[in-house]
Chain A
């Protein structure tokens, strides 16, 4: 407890600075979320004050004057009941439309986003930039550029949360979730895990460094030289012998992967699915569940042979195969 007192005293001068009521708003969507938040706060204050003052007024005006006194019977006017049913309904409709349109708009990343890959594991964030550099519990991004984050978990459910950007999404094992943001100011911001994930959940935190584009370029170039994620993925591609079948020369054993990402494909059980991160992952781990109808289900499973990081690199490679030429060119 002494420690508490001590730190309490130490922090006194800082109290004013620390008594902030608004988190930094540092992304393109933050202000729009704050406006809605402000509106909701206004509604909450309005109705709370309204109810509280009516109660206080009635309490004083109609207080019992003698012990035997009773209240006066009032009838229930239908109009009044309807009014206070309909007005809250209308407010709710407005709020729903407002918040949902924001949500839908904020949910879709712009096409030009740079993509960063995240793996959550007990109890750290592991991040990798497409250019290759890896980071632990730190994320460096340039200001003013939309960034898409593709995330998965190696163990339990985590949640990637950057309060200053007003973004948050659960990070689940066995599938990929995505968020995006566009930082609007440089600075250092909190990164939290917001889904309880075990003993050191509260230490699964980090910092997001938003840098000017030139600083970012310097930072990117400054680290130790690594291959890009797609190159790493390509190496894995040949290491696991994927190319033996999945290349144009392999004479129809398996579909060519060039340009397959983002295209709708019909699988053998008749459903049409867009080839996304989840589908690629499934195709590698449980190939028979999604093989294409024109091919024999002969691909072996790679369950247990590829870790989450390698999986992301393979996905980055497949995504980089924009066209047939690039594959042929190799």
Chain B
């Protein structure tokens, strides 16, 4: 064990007695103008939680509507606005910033032994950009909504839709700069701010995942920004960029859109993979199996993700050769994901496994991500993609990855680091119950959708043939269970902020620099910058009881 870490543990002060980043200053202004990465992380936490429940509300209403084939609640126009709002808010304002902007912001400096991110002012500015973008999106939703789907395909979005396309696109455009600046900040922080002795191969895998994610932020987001800019111009000025009647090409939009939006899928899942690597090791008290493989698979996923976008366009009439190339590349991206799953599973081998709530989420993640990933093969395969593209199979597949993967990991991470963030514990029994409810509700919601898709039910249908009703009702029933599952943590987290028992610096007995400081940490994280002398996850081997 490193002397520096041992020393840090001696200096631990109970959260209640001392100063920490939460109580060092008071007042709204001290939060809105804060440069502390931890407070900025909490600002994000609050704002994305709001967005999550707005997007979730839309999802619940959609599922209620779909219990009847003719639609139980809305006119088709309203339903279309529901799924568009759901998609736009969940993708651009919840999933993309979720883990990076909250947990990433909070943890990166703590994990690498730095006082803050490299550019704290830029960090605060990123939050303001996010809030501005979110405000545009919410304003558009409240003032009549948008009905293009989150994909904004022209010429529908540019010439035919009568809804607030430009406002929403502007919101996404602005929020995109928040992502870019966050990614930039993280890259520089990880490169330049590591504590002495914190070499690249001693970094926690969460940091590797955040690094890979940041690369995508920096390389992908500008492209969607310019794409939405072109779309907005086309819509306002009718200049014809995506209008085939004057020589424009609507498919160009799709190419540019997916050039960002496929990597964006990995923006959502890579941080989740990072979180799960932390959780699995902490709750098995064991080194990760195949550190280098897990680390490099993150990078290779990030890189390959930029050259697979064409698999979203197999049925648009792209040439057979383009289809073949994108198909083989899409199969290729499955392999590093498989490597990760195997390594996580192998990490459990000879571990000392305990089942607190974060671990349940992590194990749920592995299972659901496995299904989500494998069903991706159906869509990388050209012949089956032709049948499944645009159906509920797609919806089920990406929800297994996005909700079963990214959101599960986000919830797991939140439960894992909550004691560090707030200095307090939450009721573990309730947390486990909620995790189980979410797992069951999730599967009941989305598994029937695989079948629906194979049967041929297209997505984005407000009204559907009655033979699909049974499966739709099952899915809707699952959604209401899932909704309850998400509300329980909201309640006990809020409860724990005031009434939760003090957590102490390291309630899980986990490794990692963030657990060597007090909970909640000081404003600049460490009293003295630690010196790192050991690998990540250096748990004592069996027999060495702590």
Contacts and interface: CB of A to CB of B under 8 A. Distances in A.
Contact of A92 (B151, B161, B335, B348): B335
A73 B374 contact: no
B21 interface: no
A202 B348 CA distance: 47
Interface string B328-366: 100110110011011101101111111100000001001
A139 to B, nearest CB: 16
A157 B250 contact: yes
A103 B335 CA distance: 22
Nearest to B72: A4
Contacts of B460: 196, 201-202
A122 B335 contact: no
A106 to B, nearest CB: 7
Contacts of B226: none
Contacts of A174: 244-245
Contact of B384 (A22, A37, A74, A167): A37
A168 interface: yes
Contact of B461 (A8, A155, A201): A201
A215 to B, nearest CB: 24
Contact of B462 (A3, A69, A202): A202
| Interface size range on A against B | 35 or more
Nearest to A304: B245
Contacts, number: 301
B381 A68 contact: no
B371 A44 contact: yes
Given A51-B367, A88-B334, A196-B149, A100 B76 contact: no
A59 B347 CA distance: 11
A217 interface: no
Interface stretch (B94-102, B181-189, B317-325): B317-325
Contacts of B151: 196
Given A40-B377, A156-B156, A70 B546 contact: yes
B317 A59 contact: no
B32 interface: no
A99 B382 CA distance: 6
B183 to A, nearest CB: 28
Given A59-B363, A71-B284, A199-B80, A96 B458 contact: no
Contact of B348 (A40, A58, A80, A193): A58
Given A11-B470, A99-B384, A194-B389, A85 B67 contact: no
A122 B156 CA distance: 10
B287 A73 contact: yes
The majority secondary structure among interface residues of chain B is helix
B273 to A, nearest CB: 15
Contact of B76 (A4, A47, A80, A201): A201
Contacts of A198: 80, 147, 156, 160-161
B155 A70 contact: no
Interface stretch (B169-177, B417-425, B537-545): B537-545
Interface in A147-166: 155-157, 159, 161, 163-164, 166
A196 B156 contact: yes
Interface stretch (B107-115, B257-265, B448-456): B448-456
28 contacts: A1-B72, A7-B69, A21-B451, A37-B384, A43-B374, A52-B370, A54-B345, A62-B351, A62-B352, A63-B353, A63-B354, A70-B352, A71-B539, A73-B539, A74-B350, A76-B291, A96-B331, A98-B381, A98-B383, A100-B328, A161-B458, A163-B391, A167-B386, A174-B244, A194-B458, A202-B458, A202-B462, A286-B247
